[in-house]
Amino acid sequence: MLLLNPPGKQNYLRDYYCTSISKSDYYYHPIDLLYLSGTLSLEHDVFFLEALRRGLSKEETIQEIRRINPQALICLVAAPSFEEDSSFLRDLHNQLPQVHIVGTGDIFREYREKMFDVMPFLTATLVDFSTDDILRYLQGPQGNTINNVIYRHNSHVIVGPEKHGHGQFSIPTPCIDLFEKRYYTFPFVRHEPFMSVLSDFGCPYGCTFCPISTLGFKMRPIEEVIAELKRIWETGYREVHFRDQTFAVNKERSLKLCEAIKNALPDLTWSCFSRVDVLDEDRVQAMAQSGCHTVIVGIEFDNDQMQKLLKKNINRHQMINAIKICHKHKLNVAGTFILGLPDDDEEAILRTSALSQLLDLDFASFNLATPRLGSTWRRQLLDDDRINEKDFKMDTVKGTESFKRAKLNQQQLRQLRLKIEHDFYLRPEYILNRVRKLRSLAEFKTLLRNGFSILHGG
């Protein structure tokens, strides 16, 4: 079995059904393929090809696949890179027709069996990497329905239901050695290299703009997470980034997990995503004591009505309080923001900019509103005729051309995003504060890299 992150002209982040294009040089591990490597290794020899980060061309990638000679490959395909991905896979099939091609990614969750007409070279698609359903398919399904798998059988397409589950789940430790350390960077690491980890899957919150909210929510046993962290440590990593959508959402479990990390790996450092209405004193203190140094939270916009409408449901008091608690325990805080909602005007966007500077944030990420595949918001916008169903080019920097906004066009939005980013990061007091907080060479290199990107419109 070959796991493939295909070639591409840009730094496409294709994984976890929530795709985008990297705004700087950061690139985290393709989490779908990372965890599929562990599952597949139970019954198959597994290889991984990182064509994108290696800068391989189409032809070079096909040469590598020919050399590996897999029976089947699982390939990430994403909305932002769909045209390139589809063209590559078509060429691959023409040259190596004996290789079974299994696609996974946001495009297959959204369009399901329709994709077999668009991509006739597909053998199957997978819409949940956290289960072992792929193993049942590879054993030879013979026309049976398999959860989370859609596949060709004779002249028919067999459509399995999408079932993610809730509660607890177990998944094998990935084949970490397959993922070369040099290809992955992240702006908030304190030490390089770093490894990505999932302690849960999905999200219990209902933010309509986020496709992760439609994946259910389930947590891994703590002892399983600790075993994986020990394996990561033994492989030479000293830093991890938890890709959980909302770390510490379950208070009792998060306190136990942090205590276990502190006891088993007292020198491990890490970062994570969470929410401002989750980060209370007890959880933040436990996180800090177990090696956490940076938390990323979604602030999104300065509009209480939109917070409720899009079901984010946080307020300014919670934002200020959570950031204050994090800084009390010496954690950096990064805030993410959404600009250009359907009825936003320049004044609304500048209010969000003012909020980003009012909050005592260490980092901020400004993204253009994008109706992501698989999200409830996308379905609502389709019903309201605010977007074109056939346009699924997702880009949070340049925006989506077919998104019908009432008051601002794409060029105005791009210019506003750049202005807001400059206004946040080029404040003299901000720069001095960042320099004072530097704790490692990796942080210094990241500061320079991100600063260069901002100055050059990245």
pLDDT digit string, tens, across residues 278-327 = 999 999 999 999 999 999 999 998 888 888 889 999 999 999 999 999 99
pLDDT digits (tens, 9 = 90+) for 72-131: 999 999 999 999 999 999 999 999 999 999 999 999 999 999 999 999 999 999 999 999
Contact between residue 370 and residue 394 where contact means Cβ atoms under 8 Å apart: yes
Average pLDDT, the chain: 92
Q: Are 151 and 137 in contact (CB under 8 A)?
A: yes
Q: What is the mean pLDDT of residues 380-396?
A: 82
Distances in Å between the alpha carbon of 138 and those of 74, 149, 445? 11, 11, 44
| 364-389: average pLDDT | 90
Per residue in 150-164, pLDDT (tens digit) is 999 998 999 999 999
Amino acid of residue 97: P
Asked if residue 225 has pLDDT above 60, the reply is: yes
Q: Does the pLDDT at position 204 exceed 60? A: yes
| Cβ atoms < 10 Å from Cβ of 341 | 23
CA distance 267 to 238: 7
User: What's the token pair of residue 368?
Assistant: 């253009």
The class level of CATH for 186-455 reads alpha beta
Checking if the pLDDT of 256 tops 90, the result is: yes
Check residue 304 and give its pLDDT.
Answer: 83
Amino acid at 49: L
More confident residue, 368 or 282: 282
Percent of the chain with pLDDT over 90: 77
- Tell me which of 402 and 131 has the higher pLDDT: 131
Residue 63: per-residue pLDDT: 98
| Residue 411 reports pLDDT greater than 90 | no
Residues 6+ positions from 94 with CB-CB distance below 8 Å: none
Residue 77, φ and ψ in degrees, nearest 5? -135, 135
DSSP 151: E
Contact call for residues 264 and 230 (beta carbons, < 8 A): yes
Residue-level pLDDT at 289: 98
Residue 435: which pLDDT band, with cuts at 50, 70 and 90? confident
> Cβ(413)–Cβ(339) under 8 Å?
yes
Indicate if the alpha-carbon torsion angle 125, 127, 130, 131 is positive or negative. negative
Q: Identify the helix (H) or strand (E) that includes residue 407.
A: none
Q: How many CB atoms lie within 10 A of CB 427?
A: 12
Where residue 441 falls among pLDDT bands split at 50, 70, 90?
Answer: low
Alpha-carbon distance 244 to 33, whole Å? 16
- Mean pLDDT, residues 223-227: 98
- Indicate the class that CATH gives domain 2-164: alpha beta
Domain boundary assignment for the chain: 2-164, 186-455
